[in-house]
Amino acid sequence: MKRLWLALPLLIFVLLASCSTTRTLLRTAPTTPQGMVASPILPMVSRERWQDEIVPYIRTALQDTIYGRFPKTLTLERIDSTALEGTFFNDSATISLQTLAITNPATGAVREFGLVIARPVGALPDVPVIMMENFCPNTAVFPIPQIPKPDGDFMSCDGKGLMSHVFGYFFGRYIATPPTAMIMDHGYALASVFPSEFIPDTAEGGVKALDQFFADQLAATRTHVIMAWAAQYSLLSDYLKSREGFSKTIAYGHSRFAKAALVAATFDPTIDAVVAHQSGTGGASLSRDKTGEGLESISKNYPHWFLPKFSTYAKNKAALPVDQHQLLALIAPRPMFLGNARRDVWSDPNGAFRAAQAASIAYGLYGREGLRQKTLKDFDPTADIAFWLRPGTHGVVKEDWPAFLEFLDAHFK
The mean pLDDT value of the chain amounts to: 91
Residue 296 lies in domain? 2-412
User: Is residue 279 over pLDDT 60?
Assistant: yes
pLDDT reported for residue 164: 54
**What is d(CA 181, CA 93) in angstroms, rounded to the nearest whole number?**
7
Residue 264 has pLDDT above 60, yes or no: yes
Q: Give the DSSP H or E segment for 163.
A: helix 162-171
For residue 101, the cross-strand partners are 77, 112
CA 341 to chain centroid, in Å, comes to 15
Strand partners, 371: 385
Least confident of 100-104, 165-169, 188-192: 165-169
| Distance from the first to the final alpha carbon of the chain | 66
* Cα 348 from Cα 360, distance rounded (Å): 19
Q: Which helix (H) or strand (E) holds 192?
A: strand 189-193
Strands (DSSP E) along 226-335, which ranges?
A: 249-254, 273-277
Helix (H) or strand (E) holding 340: strand 336-341
Please tell me the predicted confidence (pLDDT) of residue 19: 45
Write down the pLDDT at residue 167.
56
Tell me how far apart the alpha carbons of residues 281 and 265 are, in angstroms, rounded to a whole number.
17
Does pLDDT of 158 surpass 70?
Answer: no
Q: What is the pLDDT of residue 149?
A: 87
- Model confidence over 343-360: pLDDT tens digits? 999 999 999 999 999 999
Predicted confidence at residue 78, as pLDDT, reads: 98
Phi and psi dihedrals of 346, rounded to 5? -55, -35
Reported as a single tens digit per residue, the pLDDT across 242-262 is 999 999 999 999 999 999 999
The answer to whether residues 387 and 352 touch, using CB atoms and an 8 Å cutoff, is yes
Chain-centre distance for alpha carbon 214:
22
* Distance (Å) of CA 181 to CA 61, 95, 151, 292, 294: 41, 12, 28, 35, 38
Q: What angle (nearest 5°) sits at the alpha carbon of residue 246, between those of residues 241 and 247?
A: 95
Confidence of residue 407 (pLDDT cuts 50, 70, 90): very high
| CA–CA separation, 204 and 11 (whole Å) | 37
pLDDT digits over 207-235, tens only?
Answer: 999 999 999 999 999 999 999 999 999 99
Helix (H) or strand (E) holding 214: none
In angstroms, rounded to a whole number, what is the distance separating the alpha carbons of residues 94 and 278? Answer: 30
3-state SS record for 115-159 = EEEEEECCCCCCCCEEEEECCCCHHHHCCCCCCCCCCCCCCCCCC
Q: Is the sign of the CA dihedral 394, 395, 401, 404 positive or negative?
A: positive
Overall average pLDDT of the 87-97 stretch: 97
Residues whose CB falls within 8 Å of the CB of residue 197, separated by 6 or more in sequence, listed in order: 111, 112, 113, 114, 150, 152
* 8 band by pLDDT with thresholds 50, 70 and 90: very low
Task: CATH number of the domain at 272, please.
Answer: 3.40.50.1820
189: nearest Cα among 261, 147, 130, 271: 130
Chain centroid to Cα 286, Å, comes to 15
Rounded to 5°, angle at Cα 339 from 334 and 340 = 150
The sign of the CA dihedral 252, 63, 351, 292 is positive
What's the angle, vertex CA 133, arms to CA 126 and CA 377, rounded to 5? 90
Question: Could you give the number of structural domains in the chain?
Answer: 1
